[in-house]
Amino acid sequence: MLKSKNKAILTFEDAKLYSTKSITGATFLGGPLVAGYLISENFKAFNETNKAKTSLITGIVATIFLFTAILIIPEDIMSKIPNSVIPLFYTGIIWFFVEWTQGDRLNTHKENNNTFYSGWRAAGFGFLSLIIIVVGLFGYFLLELNNPAYRTYDDKIAEFSKNETESLKFYDRIDSKGRLTLLQELDENVIPLWEENISIANEITKIEGLSTDLKSSSESLIKYSELRLEVFQLTRKAIDEDTNKYDYKLYDLNNQIEAVLKDLTEL
């Protein structure tokens, strides 16, 4: 058993406390926020008001930090973490903290047959904490949806997609149009569209207030656009020279494009 760092063991026959089991159970349900509250209530019963305030503030700060970290960690990393790992992690920390700071007094309280709040009461606060967190996250996502950065991003992506669709129509005509017509289309339409898409992708990386995932995807868009541009430039060269000697290089570039597209779909 862990020994409390506070050696002075106080008992309060008329005080009700939250047991370690109740606190950790509520924490698993409602996160560090409810842990801070329940721990602070115990400290109040011990007449340690400063520690009570510190515990409550720490619970609030830890909750903000936890969900900020979750939101900024890339989705592909978060998807690999089992759902129970994070709650078990912070619940374990809370268990250790309660045992370290209050364990001796809670054990003495129990040995003296003094009363504890029921686990259901603690669970109720845990559920209330969960509701507060859900409402907070809902508000955050609502604000994010109204973030001007995302409207700018959507406009840029729409422009990018329009250019992409228009340029890829070239392949529908490659077998039916003459050499000069194809060269003209590449010079006046297709290649400029991908040069423009590179500029658009670079502009996206500079949008302030964009999420980490979208910033990451814009880097992949730059790579994708550069590969597309290289393919069309090499295609132009092959048509102009009327040769198949660039086929292997084109095959390799198209494989690279497929790899980048796969990465983009996973972001």
pLDDT computed for residue 12 by the predictor? 56
- pLDDT per residue over 153-187, tens digit each? 889 999 999 999 999 999 998 888 899 999 999 99
Structure tokens at 262: 């796969």
Which contacts (CB < 8 Å, 24+ apart) does range 84-87 have? 87/28, 87/31
What pTM was computed for the model?
Answer: 0.59
Q: Are residues 172 and 57 in the same domain?
A: no
**Residue 141: band (very low, low, confident or very high) from pLDDT cuts 50, 70, 90:** confident
Residue 195 structural domain: 148-266
* Final residue in a domain of this structure, among 145, 179, 201: 145
The Cα-based distances of 249 to 8, 72, 244 in angstroms read 77, 38, 10
Structure tokens at 255: 């494989």
Q: Are residues 73 and 139 in the same domain?
A: yes
- pLDDT per residue over 45-76, tens digit each? 999 999 999 999 999 999 999 988 887 777 66
Q: Are residues 63 and 133 in the same domain?
A: yes
Q: Are residues 259 and 172 in the same domain?
A: yes
- Alpha helix segments (H runs only) across 73-147: 75-78, 85-111, 119-145
Q: Are residues 172 and 62 in the same domain?
A: no
Q: Are residues 121 and 200 in the same domain?
A: no
pLDDT computed for residue 5 by the predictor? 47
Would you put residue 19 in left (φ > 0), alpha (ψ -120 to 50) or beta? beta
